[in-house]
């Protein structure tokens, strides 16, 4: 390949933990982040948890010379928190908000108010069309009793669907963000296997950063080590994923992360570590397609079989979440009926003085009014909860139906492959080529 066909691309990702008035040293850390980005001059910058638009505008002014193009994704009550800065012109942008995102009454977690979503921008890098995605999935607050697991699985399912259906014309695809998923978690496997995205940490030729690539380290002063149990050193939940196409081959030349402390500063950039990936893009010459070899058929069959297992596992988790949501909806309805019965009983008691002449009210007036207010509050609360749980049930049912169709389609395609080789045979991509993404028929 000629040098003219090679392009180098630097990608940066960071969860900024930028909650105004709540996050520690928020203003100072944004100034540090702005200095870092101005100095390093990445081609694409993908940020999460930039909750205040004022902070985004401040970064935009600071980066106007190095990253003249930017976009801020707005969603939810307080915003999606996602922002993109680029040296290349942004030609289009789109936001998809996840159908499930926690519970509004879990205000101390705050995910529901954030409007978690996936944002997409389309860039032209030379003559190549790049679809760049940034996302932030629901947090995992307790690994042993993870009540948000079905929501996170549905978010991963919707994320892979969104990427597959919007990247068909892209020469290269990049996804970065805080996935809140460990490398072998179900949602992570579902996302990477279905889309064909490659993890820059496992693919890079050179790595400089925290041990095992962890991005939430116990040594960070903003982190409570108890929240990382049972992972004493930390966890890896932030990623830069990528894939090429028939026109472009992508290799990750190097990946680096920050290591907690920042030289000449008393605190780090964030509670998460930043990721910086150096990607090499190489334009491929068009070659006439030929018949698939037996090895390629075995590779595709093995991938399909693996994907069937993963989608089936995801469908099981969604069914568990659906059962829990239906129980919560039933509990809300039953509590509402009890509140209604109490309110009707109180109205009947209130009607006694009107029906029986000269009869006095049997209850003290203050207690009577207090009970009425309590019954009315129960009715309103349970009514709102019933509506919310009904929406959750519908979203989980929709995701489960989509997964059922996907499994059927994958199994149908799998039956079309010869079974001369075991389906669990290891399959390696050809040199210089990206693993072909699996895109089931719609």
- In whole angstroms, what is the distance from residue 432 CA to residue 405 CA? 34
Active site residue 272: yes
**Set 67, 71, 88, 272: catalytic member:** 272
- In whole angstroms, what is the distance from residue 10 CA to residue 5 CA? 17
Question: At which residue do the structure tokens 């089931």 appear?
Answer: 440
Of the chain, the end-to-end C-alpha distance in Å amounts to: 36
- In whole angstroms, what is the distance from residue 153 CA to residue 137 CA? 10
- In whole angstroms, what is the distance from residue 156 CA to residue 187 CA? 5
Tokens of 204: 């890079």
Q: Residue 81's closest CA among 37, 116, 31?
A: 116
Pairing of strands 6-18, 69-73: unpaired
Catalytic positions, written as ranges: 272
């Amino acid at each position: 390949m000629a040098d003219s066909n090679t392009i180098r691309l630097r990608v940066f990702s960071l969860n900024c933990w930028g909650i105004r008035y709540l996050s520690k040293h928020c203003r100072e850390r944004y100034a540090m982040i702005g200095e870092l980005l101005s100095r390093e001059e990445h081609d694409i910058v993908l940020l999460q948890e930039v909750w205040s638009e004022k902070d985004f505008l401040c970064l935009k002014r600071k980066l106007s010379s190095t990253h003249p193009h930017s976009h801020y994704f707005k969603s939810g009550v307080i915003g999606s928190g996602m922002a993109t800065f680029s040296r290349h012109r942004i030609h289009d942008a789109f936001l998809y908000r996840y159908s499930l995102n926690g519970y509004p009454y879990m205000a101390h977690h705050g995910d529901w108010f954030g409007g978690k979503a996936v944002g997409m921008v389309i860039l032209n890098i030379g003559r190549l069309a790049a679809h760049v995605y940034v996302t932030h999935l629901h947090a995992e607050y307790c690994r042993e009793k993870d009540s948000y697991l079905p929501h996170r699985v549905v978010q991963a399912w919707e994320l892979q669907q969104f990427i597959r259906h919007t990247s068909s014309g892209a020469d290269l695809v990049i996804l970065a963000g805080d996935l809140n998923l460990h490398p072998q978690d179900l949602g992570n496997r579902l996302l990477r296997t279905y889309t064909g995205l490659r993890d820059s940490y496992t693919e890079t030729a050179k790595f400089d950063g925290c041990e095992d690539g962890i991005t939430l380290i116990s040594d960070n002063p903003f982190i409570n080590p108890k929240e990382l149990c049972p992972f004493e050193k930390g966890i890896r939940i932030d990623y830069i994923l990528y894939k090429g196409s028939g026109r472009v081959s992508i290799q990750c030349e190097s990946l680096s992360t920050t290591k907690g402390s920042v030289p000449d500063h008393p605190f780090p950039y964030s509670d998460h570590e930043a990721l910086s990936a150096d990607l090499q893009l190489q334009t491929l010459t068009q070659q006439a397609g030929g018949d698939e070899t037996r090895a390629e058929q075995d590779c595709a069959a093995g991938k399909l079989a693996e994907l069937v297992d993963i989608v089936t596992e995801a469908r099981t988790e969604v069914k568990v979440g659906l059962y829990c949501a239906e129980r919560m909806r039933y509990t809300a309805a039953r509590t509402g009926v009890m509140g209604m019965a109490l309110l009707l009983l109180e109205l009947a008691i209130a009607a006694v003085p009107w029906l029986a002449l000269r009869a006095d009210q049997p209850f003290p007036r203050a207690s009577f009014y207090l009970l009425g207010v309590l019954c009315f509050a129960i009715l309103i609360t349970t009514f709102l909860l019933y509506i919310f749980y009904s929406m959750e049930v519908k979203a989980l049912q929709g995701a489960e139906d989509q997964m059922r169709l996907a499994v059927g389609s994958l199994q149908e395609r799998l039956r079309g492959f010869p079974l001369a080789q075991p389906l669990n045979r290891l399959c390696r991509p050809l040199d210089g080529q990206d693993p072909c993404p699996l895109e089931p028929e719609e």
